[in-house]
Amino acid sequence: MTVLVGYVPNAYGEAALSAAAEESRRRGERLLVVNMSRDDVLVDAHRAGAEQLARVSRDLEELGVEYELRQLDQGNDAAEELLRVAGDEAEKVSLLVIGLRHRSAVGKLLLGSAAQRILLEAPCPVLAVKTA
């Protein structure tokens, strides 16, 4: 079985990664860390750089967590990509962990919510984590 986490290099992504690593250790399952970038933007703040991914690897190795890091460049939106990986039977995802940020009611109405879509459509339990 696998714990899947959507990672972005910010406070929300770090909170999700920390919770996912803890769940992975508690369950004795491998951790799949997915970071993605959309190919329709010139600069994507959600794409982790080489130094950030190296730090994530070091941190997970220190915790003794079995993990895999994937950086996807397919250009799909984050919710779609995480739902695709979570639904892949070969991955055997038992839990999907996401970081959650506060959005105004107008922001949710106009822009939609990737977190809401994941919570409603995921084929497995979802752990939504807020920053402290």
Between residues 34 and 36, the one the model is more confident about: 34
Report the C-alpha gap between 77 and 90 in whole angstroms: 21
Give the chain's domains with CATH numbers.
Answer: 2-129 (3.40.50.620)
Of the candidates 10, 6, 9, 75, the residue with the CA atom closest to the CA atom of residue 48: 9
Report the C-alpha gap between 14 and 46 in whole angstroms: 12
Whole-number pLDDT of residue 27: 97
b or e along 79-114 (b: 16 or more beta carbons within 10 Å of the residue's beta carbon)? bbbbbebbeeeebebbbbbbbbeeeeeeeeeeeebb
Asked whether 4 and 98 are in contact (CB, 8 A), the reply is no
Report the C-alpha gap between 52 and 84 in whole angstroms: 24
pLDDT surpasses 50 at 110: no
Q: Provide the β-strand partners of residue 69.
A: 33
Query: Which DSSP category does 9 fall into?
Result: S
Report the C-alpha gap between 95 and 60 in whole angstroms: 18
pLDDT digits (tens, 9 = 90+) for 36-88: 865 544 445 567 778 989 999 999 999 999 999 998 876 668 889 999 999 99
